[in-house]
């Protein structure tokens, strides 16, 4: 298991993450999350039905799948924002099923949201500071007496500015987050999540709506997280990005994990093509959004590019 | 204890209530728990201490009864007001006698208490609190014979009646919430408006009631339309958020309510036939007005159900409630649906107000506001924004309010319904028929 | 003719009146709830009522000293906040609105019912609880002051006490909202899921906010009853709406807005009510009776609430950018 990222050229991928043949639910050498038998239904609809899933530590895992596959729902379940009908899972070897979201975050598993949640009427800097863990000034009793927390506050501010500089948001630090552009908000949300020094970062569509000019720097940030020893799990529809940075890909469709594996191999898996083209329910092709078709085309292009190289 | 009249004394409060309950009276009039202070008051500004009380005949306030208060060489007379209340200022603490002048009671009524030879005279002490109360609850003997079973049945009918009229108001509130997201506090004033217009046309202008009610309903529907066209639609256009809109509706409610009071004053006035005892059907204390009220409610509710389930525009309404953006995208004219919903909400609320005026009975400036919270409770119980939930919620609230008076004092009957609301939210936050929200 | 000097001097008296102080403090509590945390508390009247009755009942029924009586009111409001908060703080914002308004009505009905008359005085309320507070007055008997503000020693004592509480509460609030605690609270107002995802116990913070603002409400209730008696009909829902009007006037997410809002509100209301009443007396407004003139203030408050929310949602002192409405 080796990992590092080259700033220019193709990033170096982590390999040898799994034990045995890559298949849905395959065992990992060093899993950070192990989930068993998770189901979540909404009325008659089964949004998530995952028998077994392991997320490898210290690697970048992509969670892909067509719209409505249950990716966000799975995120919600794993982070305590939603309660499953059945299922158990561990994080870092500890059972965390059923514990509330804020406790999950405190254990070092921090997420971002598909619909960005920048705190609009807080300044960018305050947004960042809010992310820091273990602030003594956050207790009501001590908040009244600044000498308890002003020193810590300074350190947090330094760290926040450092991160903002890395994300090229430092010039905006005193603006209200509401004044940021959509892409900047995505960056802010990610930077804010990093303020808590997590061991697992879960990003729900970090690239959606981000201007292509920013995409590259965002990719670098994510790769950077890996070099710093964090584990990344992200949901993404942009297949370029998945291929570019993911060490491992988990494919979901209709609530199930239908395939797992190395990004190149998994794209060739017939189950994945099925999932994306929706061969099970061809009667409602109208539902199939064009984004998915584009994704497939992109894949084909990518492979063609690879072949030329 | 079989007699209705008992001696109110602070230490014997429980006994007094037992006596009042045993009297087993229809608690219709005591509904107005937040009655405006229209008591006859003498010398309250002149003196620091006071004695006050309430004169009720068969649970209904009794006006113009003369009371004489004497003690320590001080004497004052006062008459009970429209709401049965009276209050006098007194110069110092000490013992006083309150004498109710039986000559000022209606024909054939007297204060009776087998344990007391002069039940119309009370000895009271004004102690450290600086005030004291002398209430006279005068009962009518023959009503005491109502058996527990009859009482329960009577309560159930009352509860159904009340629940049904509440449902009319609640469904409108719920439809508006469902389609626009607005928690409309000024819905109460739509309810009052129905009652007021019936009063205007049926009593002040003297039209027959079968004509006055339809006119009132048409005007109520019109007011619903005006509400949307003049205020809420422009606010939606401006992109005002839901919470600010809710606060606007609170301001509107306050302003309109007191505008009503400016026009009609603080009194309660009766609609034709509302207090006519000859209309009794002689069963479970029901009157023909009650039967008609329930019949009308059921018919109208069936009509609403048909509208929502079968008609095109009704289906569109449900679609808009479900997901306005999606509905708009699929070609539904959302503004038109909302307009229709407002017109319907206005008419339903107006009808609810008329029936409420017969149920209480009486029309007053804040009658809608008195049931606003119960309406919200009904809507919330059923699940915010679902019309059928509102119906179920309203029936539960209505039945609960009425039946609970068998065990709790009738001036606390709303407490029970509101407590139930809080309890239901504890176990089933999305309401009884509501759905969970999407997260993340 | 209309005595303008009298009208103006009556209005000027409102600047430091204990009622103004009470409303300012209650509005400050509501600013913590609504302006800073985004909690839609429509039951501030209930908190005030518990403060007032807690104080009065502890004094009259249990004959406790002033400090214990005040503590009773505060504890009652904390318990009330817990009862309200436990079921609703996990739910959507509008549920809290309905539950708080319902709970405040429950409290009012419980204090109004004849069932507990020996303790609560039912509809007549309570009086005669001021002895202990009076006894603490350090000001020697006499009348003091200048211009319109001439009062006896008790009236001054009430004013000094009331405004001191307001000042302390404002200082505490100001400190809190410059601290990391305040940052979490404001974050919750913006998006509680985001704050939760950062490892903060949102529920707990909301509860703290509800309690803190509720305690301010209870203290406001105590100031409110020092110059008058406790009467349950003073605590109708319209009391809460008046406080909202003040809060919106001054700016919901500011510390000094509620205080200045309260002063402006009462000065204007006093001047206007006084003017209309006199104008009716001298026959300038023949279509209005005296009673109707009294109702005019409710109509005006209602319209003011609407206009402020629609045209100046940030209030007089709020920052246009930081208009603090929950979305
Ligand atoms: N709260 C909810 N109530 C009802 N259905 C829901 C709810 N949340 C999710 N669903 C349904 O569950 C399914 C999975 O949704 P989910 O948001 O997890 O999809 P996704 O994989 O994240 O899709 P996308 O790529 O479009 O974000 C969808 O069919 C969705 O409609
Ligand atoms: Mg998703």
The domain locations on chain A are 18-118+183-308, 123-179
Q: Which two tokens stand for residue B140?
A: 């009518």
Domain-embedded: residue C263 = no
SS (H, E, C) chain A: CCCECCCCCCCECCCCCEECCCCCCCEECCEEEEEEEEEEEECCEEEEEEEEEEEECCCEEEEECCCCCCHHHHHHHHCCCCCCCEEEEEECCEECCCCCHHHHHHCCEEECCCCCCCCCCCEHHHHHHHHCCCCHHHCHHHHCCHHHCHHHHHHHHHHHHHHHHHCCCHHHCCCEHHHCCHHHHHHHHHHHHHCCCCCEEEEECCCCCCCHHHHHHHHHHHHHHHHCCCEEEEECCCHHHHHHHCCEEEEEECCEEEEEECHHHHHHCHHHHHHHHCHHHHHHHHHCCHHHHHHHHHHHHHHHHHHHC
Domain-embedded: residue C276 = no
Query: Is A117 in contact with C194 (Cβ distance < 8 A)?
Result: yes
Size of interface B-C (CB pairs under 8 A): 180
Q: For B222-231, what is each residue's pLDDT tens digit?
A: 999 999 999 9
B252 interfaces chain C, CB cutoff of 8 Å? yes
Q: Which two tokens stand for residue C267?
A: 């000065």
Query: What is the number of structural domains in chain C?
Result: 1
Domain-embedded: residue C131 = yes
Chains that touch C (3 or more CB pairs under 8 A): A, B
Domain-embedded: residue C88 = yes
User: At CA C109, angle to CA C120 and CA C220, rounded to 5?
Assistant: 70
Nearest chain A residue to C189 by CA: give it.
A119
Question: Which pLDDT score is estimated for B2?
Answer: 36
Q: Which of A38, A39, A42 should be mutated for ligand 1, with most atoms under 8 A from CB? A: A42
A226 interfaces chain C, CB cutoff of 8 Å? no
The residue whose two tokens read 């209730």 is C221
Q: For A267-299, what is each residue's pLDDT tens digit?
A: 777 777 777 765 544 444 444 444 455 555 555
Q: What is the pTM of this model?
A: 0.81
Fold of A18-118+183-308: Rossmann fold (3.40.50)
Ligand 1 pocket check for A69: Cβ under 6 Å: yes
B261 interfaces chain C, CB cutoff of 8 Å? yes
Is the separation of the CB atoms in C305 and C241 below 8 Å?
Answer: yes
Question: Which pLDDT score is estimated for A167?
Answer: 86
Nearest chain C residue to B257 by CA: give it.
C299
Find chain C residues with C-beta within 8 A of A176's C-beta: 321-322
Chains that touch B (3 or more CB pairs under 8 A): A, C
Task: Select from C182, C200, C324 the Cβ nearest to the Cβ of A102.
Answer: C200
Size of interface A-C (CB pairs under 8 A): 104
Range from A109-118, A267-276, C230-239 carrying the lowest mean pLDDT: A267-276
Nearest ligand 1 atom, CA A205: 27
* Ligand with the closest atom to the CA of A71: 1
Nearest chain C residue to A178 by CA: give it.
C321
- Give the whole-angstrom CA distance, residue C268 versus residue A3: 71
Ligand 1 centroid to Cα of residue C243, in Å, is 42
Question: Which pLDDT score is estimated for B24?
Answer: 28
Chain C residues whose C-beta is within 8 A of a chain A C-beta are: 172, 175-176, 178-184, 186-187, 189-191, 193-202, 208, 212, 321-322, 324
Domain-embedded: residue C201 = yes
Classify residue B384 as left (phi > 0), alpha (psi -120 to 50) or beta. Answer: beta
pLDDT at A2 over 70: no
Domain-embedded: residue C107 = yes
Find chain C residues with C-beta within 8 A of A109's C-beta: none
Ligand 1 pocket check for A49: Cβ under 6 Å: no
What is the sign, positive or negative, of the torsion defined by CA atoms of B289, B354, B197, B300?
negative
A79 interfaces chain C, CB cutoff of 8 Å? yes
Question: Which pLDDT score is estimated for A7?
Answer: 45
Ligand 1 pocket check for A67: Cβ under 6 Å: yes
Find chain A residues with C-beta within 8 A of C196's C-beta: 81, 100-102, 105
pLDDT digit string (tens) for chain B, length 440 residues: 334 333 334 333 343 333 333 232 222 222 223 333 345 777 777 677 788 888 887 777 888 888 888 877 777 888 888 888 888 888 777 788 888 887 777 766 767 666 666 777 888 888 767 778 888 877 654 444 567 788 888 889 999 999 999 999 999 999 999 899 888 999 999 999 999 999 999 999 999 999 999 999 999 999 999 999 999 999 999 888 888 888 899 899 999 999 999 888 888 888 887 766 666 666 667 788 888 999 999 999 999 999 999 999 888 988 888 787 788 888 888 999 999 999 999 999 999 999 999 998 889 999 999 899 899 889 888 877 778 889 999 999 999 999 888 888 877 888 888 888 777 777 777 766 665 555 44
For residues A102-116, average pLDDT: 92
- Give the whole-angstrom CA distance, residue A61 versus residue A74: 14
- Peptide bond before C263: cis, by omega within 30 degrees of 0? no
Q: For C103-120, what is each residue's pLDDT tens digit?
A: 999 999 999 888 888 888
Is the separation of the CB atoms in C138 and C270 below 8 Å?
Answer: no
Ligand 1 centroid to Cα of residue A64, in Å, is 14
**DSSP-derived 3-state class of residue C40:** coil
List the residue whose alpha carbon is closest to atom 16 of ligand 1: A70
Ligand 1 pocket check for A72: Cβ under 6 Å: yes
Nearest ligand 1 atom, CA A73: 18
Task: Select from B247, B254, B265 the Cβ nearest to the Cβ of C298.
Answer: B254
Find chain A residues with C-beta within 8 A of B439's C-beta: 76, 81-82
Ligand 2 centroid to Cα of residue A104, in Å, is 20
Q: How far, in Å, are A259, B41, B87, C221 from residue B47 at the CA level? A: 87, 12, 12, 24
- Give the whole-angstrom CA distance, residue B380 versus residue C91: 12
Question: Which pLDDT score is estimated for A180?
Answer: 87
Nearest ligand 1 atom, CA A71: 21
- Nearest chain C CA: its distance from B256 CA (Å): 7
Question: Which pLDDT score is estimated for B145?
Answer: 52
Is the separation of the CB atoms in B365 and B257 below 8 Å?
Answer: yes
Nearest ligand 1 atom, CA B437: 1
**DSSP-derived 3-state class of residue B21:** helix
Question: Which pLDDT score is estimated for A295?
Answer: 53
Question: Which pLDDT score is estimated for B81?
Answer: 81
Classify residue B431 as left (phi > 0), alpha (psi -120 to 50) or beta. Answer: left
pLDDT at C58 over 80: yes
Ligand 1 pocket check for A47: Cβ under 6 Å: yes
Task: Select from C182, C196, C208 the Cβ nearest to the Cβ of A101.
Answer: C196
- Nearest chain C CA: its distance from A115 CA (Å): 11
Q: Which of A44, A63, A64, A68 should be mutated for ligand 1, with most atoms under 8 A from CB? A: A68
Chains that touch A (3 or more CB pairs under 8 A): B, C
Nearest chain B residue to C87 by CA: give it.
B426
Q: How far, in Å, are B123, B130, B132 from residue B126 at the CA level? A: 10, 6, 5
Ligand 2 centroid to Cα of residue A181, in Å, is 21
Ligand 1 centroid to Cα of residue C204, in Å, is 29
Query: Is A114 in contact with B439 (Cβ distance < 8 A)?
Result: no
A143 interfaces chain C, CB cutoff of 8 Å? yes
- Among candidates B400, B310, B401, which has minimal Cα distance to B360? B401
Query: Is C126 in contact with B129 (Cβ distance < 8 A)?
Result: yes
Find chain C residues with C-beta within 8 A of A189's C-beta: 194
List the residue whose alpha carbon is closest to atom 17 of ligand 1: A72
Domain extent for C96: 18-234
What's the ipTM? 0.85
Domain-embedded: residue C95 = yes
Ligand 1 pocket check for A70: Cβ under 6 Å: yes
List the residue whose alpha carbon is closest to atom 4 of ligand 1: A42
Query: Is A114 in contact with B440 (Cβ distance < 8 A)?
Result: yes
Is the separation of the CB atoms in A253 and A46 below 8 Å?
Answer: no
- Give the whole-angstrom CA distance, residue B345 versus residue B175: 7
Nearest ligand 1 atom, CA A69: 21
């Amino acid at each position: 298991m080796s990992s590092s990222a080259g700033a220019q050229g193709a990033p170096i991928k982590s390999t040898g993450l799994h034990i045995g043949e890559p298949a849905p639910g395959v065992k990992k050498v060093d899993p950070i999350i192990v989930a068993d038998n998770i189901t979540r239904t909404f009325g008659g609809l089964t949004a998530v039905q995952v028998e077994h899933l392991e997320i490898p530590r210290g690697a970048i895992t992509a969670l892909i799948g067509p719209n409505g596959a249950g990716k966000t729902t799975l995120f919600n379940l794993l982070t305590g924002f939603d309660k499953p009908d059945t299922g158990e899972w561990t994080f870092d070897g500890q059972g965390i099923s059923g514990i509330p979201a804020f406790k999950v975050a405190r254990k070092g598993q921090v997420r971002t949201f598909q619909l960005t949640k920048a705190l609009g009427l807080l300044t960018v800097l305050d947004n960042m500071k809010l992310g820091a863990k273990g602030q003594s000034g956050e207790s009501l009793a001590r908040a009244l007496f600044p000498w308890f927390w002003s020193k810590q506050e300074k350190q947090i501010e330094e760290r926040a500015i450092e991160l903002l500089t890395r994300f090229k948001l430092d010039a905006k630090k005193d603006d209200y987050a509401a004044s940021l552009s959509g892409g900047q908000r995505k960056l802010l949300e990610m930077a804010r999540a990093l303020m808590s020094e997590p061991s697992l970062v879960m990003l729900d569509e970090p690239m959606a709506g981000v201007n292509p000019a920013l995409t590259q720097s965002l990719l670098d940030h994510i790769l950077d997280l890996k070099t710093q020893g964090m584990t990344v799990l992200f949901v993404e529809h942009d297949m370029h990005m998945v291929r570019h940075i993911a060490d491992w890909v988990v494919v979901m469709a209709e609530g199930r994990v239908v395939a797992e594996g190395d990004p190149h191999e998994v794209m060739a898996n017939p189950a994945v093509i099925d999932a994306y083209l929706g061969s099970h329910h061809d009667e409602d092709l109208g539902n199939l959004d064009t984004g998915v078709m584009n994704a497939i085309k992109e894949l084909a292009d990518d492979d063609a590019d690879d072949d030329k190289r | 204890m079989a007699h209705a009249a008992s001696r109110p004394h602070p230490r014997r409060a429980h006994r007094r209530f037992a006596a009042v309950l045993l009297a087993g009276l229809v608690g219709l009039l005591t509904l107005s728990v937040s009655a405006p202070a229209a008591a006859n008051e003498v010398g309250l500004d002149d003196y620091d201490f006071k004695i006050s009380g309430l004169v009720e005949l068969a649970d209904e306030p009794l006006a113009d009864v003369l009371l004489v208060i004497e003690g320590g060489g001080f004497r004052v007379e006062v008459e009970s007001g429209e709401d049965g209340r009276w209050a006098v200022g007194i110069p110092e603490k000490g013992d006083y006698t309150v004498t109710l002048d039986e000559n000022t009671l209606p024909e054939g009524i007297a204060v009776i208490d087998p344990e007391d030879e002069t039940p119309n005279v009370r000895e009271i002490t004004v102690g450290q609190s600086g005030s004291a109360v002398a209430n006279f609850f005068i009962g009518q003997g023959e009503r005491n014979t109502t058996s527990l079973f009859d009482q329960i049945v009577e309560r159930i009918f009352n509860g159904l009646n009340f629940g049904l009229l509440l449902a009319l108001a609640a469904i409108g509130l719920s439809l508006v919430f469902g389609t626009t997201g607005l928690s409309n506090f000024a819905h109460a004033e739509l309810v009052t408006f129905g009652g007021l217009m019936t009063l205007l046309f049926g009593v002040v202008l003297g039209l027959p009631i079968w004509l006055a009610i339809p006119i009132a309903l048409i005007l109520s529907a019109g007011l619903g339309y005006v509400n949307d066209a003049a205020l809420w639609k422009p606010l939606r256009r401006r992109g005002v958020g839901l919470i600010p809109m809710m606060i606007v509706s609170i301001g509107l409610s306050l302003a309109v309510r007191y505008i009503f009071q400016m026009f009609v004053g603080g009194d309660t006035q009766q609609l034709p036939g509302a207090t006519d005892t000859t209309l009794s059907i002689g069963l479970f204390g029901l009157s023909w007005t009650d039967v008609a009220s329930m019949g009308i409610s059921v018919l109208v509710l069936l009509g609403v159900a048909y509208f929502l389930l079968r008609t095109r525009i009704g289906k569109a309404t449900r679609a808009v409630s479900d997901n306005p953006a999606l509905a708009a995208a699929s070609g539904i004219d959302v503004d038109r649906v909302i307009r229709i919903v407002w017109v319907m909400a206005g008419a339903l609320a107006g009808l609810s107000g008329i029936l409420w005026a017969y149920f209480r009975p009486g029309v007053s400036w804040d009658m809608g506001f008195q049931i606003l919270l119960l309406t919200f409770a009904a809507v919330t119980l059923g699940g915010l924004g679902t019309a059928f939930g509102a119906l179920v919620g309203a029936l539960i609230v209505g039945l609960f309010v009425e039946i609970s008076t068998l065990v709790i004092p009738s001036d606390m009957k709303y407490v029970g319904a509101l407590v139930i609301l809080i309890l239901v939210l504890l176990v089933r936050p999305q309401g009884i028929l509501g759905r969970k929200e999407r997260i993340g | 003719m209309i005595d303008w000097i009298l009208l103006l001097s009556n209005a000027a008296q409102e600047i430091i009146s204990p009622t103004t102080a009470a409303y300012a403090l209650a509005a400050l509590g509501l600013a913590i709830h609504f302006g800073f945390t985004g909690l839609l508390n429509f039951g501030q009247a209930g908190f005030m009522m518990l403060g007032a009755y807690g104080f009065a009942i502890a004094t009259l029924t249990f004959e406790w000293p002033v400090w214990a009586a005040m503590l009773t009111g505060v504890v009652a409001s904390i318990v009330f906040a817990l009862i309200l908060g436990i079921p609703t703080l996990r739910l959507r914002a509008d549920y809290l609105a309905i539950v708080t308004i319902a709970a405040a009505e429950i409290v009012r009905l419980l204090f109004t019912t004849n069932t507990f008359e020996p303790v609560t005085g039912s509809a007549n309320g309570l009086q005669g609880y001021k002895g202990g507070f009076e006894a603490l007055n350090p000001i020697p008997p006499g009348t003091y002051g200048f211009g319109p503000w001439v009062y006896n020693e008790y009236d001054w004592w009430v004013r000094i006490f009331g405004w001191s509480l307001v000042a302390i509460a404002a200082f505490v609030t100001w400190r809190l909202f410059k601290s990391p605690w305040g940052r979490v609270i404001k974050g919750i107002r913006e998006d509680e899921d985001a704050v939760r995802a950062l490892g903060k116990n949102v529920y707990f913070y909301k509860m703290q906010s509800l309690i803190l603002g509720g305690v301010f409400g209870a203290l406001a209730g105590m100031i409110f009853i020092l110059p008058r008696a406790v009467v349950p009909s003073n605590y109708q829902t319209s009391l809460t709406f008046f406080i909202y009007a003040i809060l919106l006037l001054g700016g919901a997410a500011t510390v000094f807005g509620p205080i200045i809002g309260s002063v402006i509100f009462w000065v204007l209301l006093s001047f206007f009510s006084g003017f209309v009443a006199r104008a009716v007396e001298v026959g300038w407004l023949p279509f209005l009776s005296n009673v109707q003139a009294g109702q005019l203030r409710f109509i005006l408050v209602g319209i003011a609430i609407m206009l402020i929310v629609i045209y100046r949602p940030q209030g007089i002192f709020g920052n246009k950018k930081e208009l603090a409405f929950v979305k």
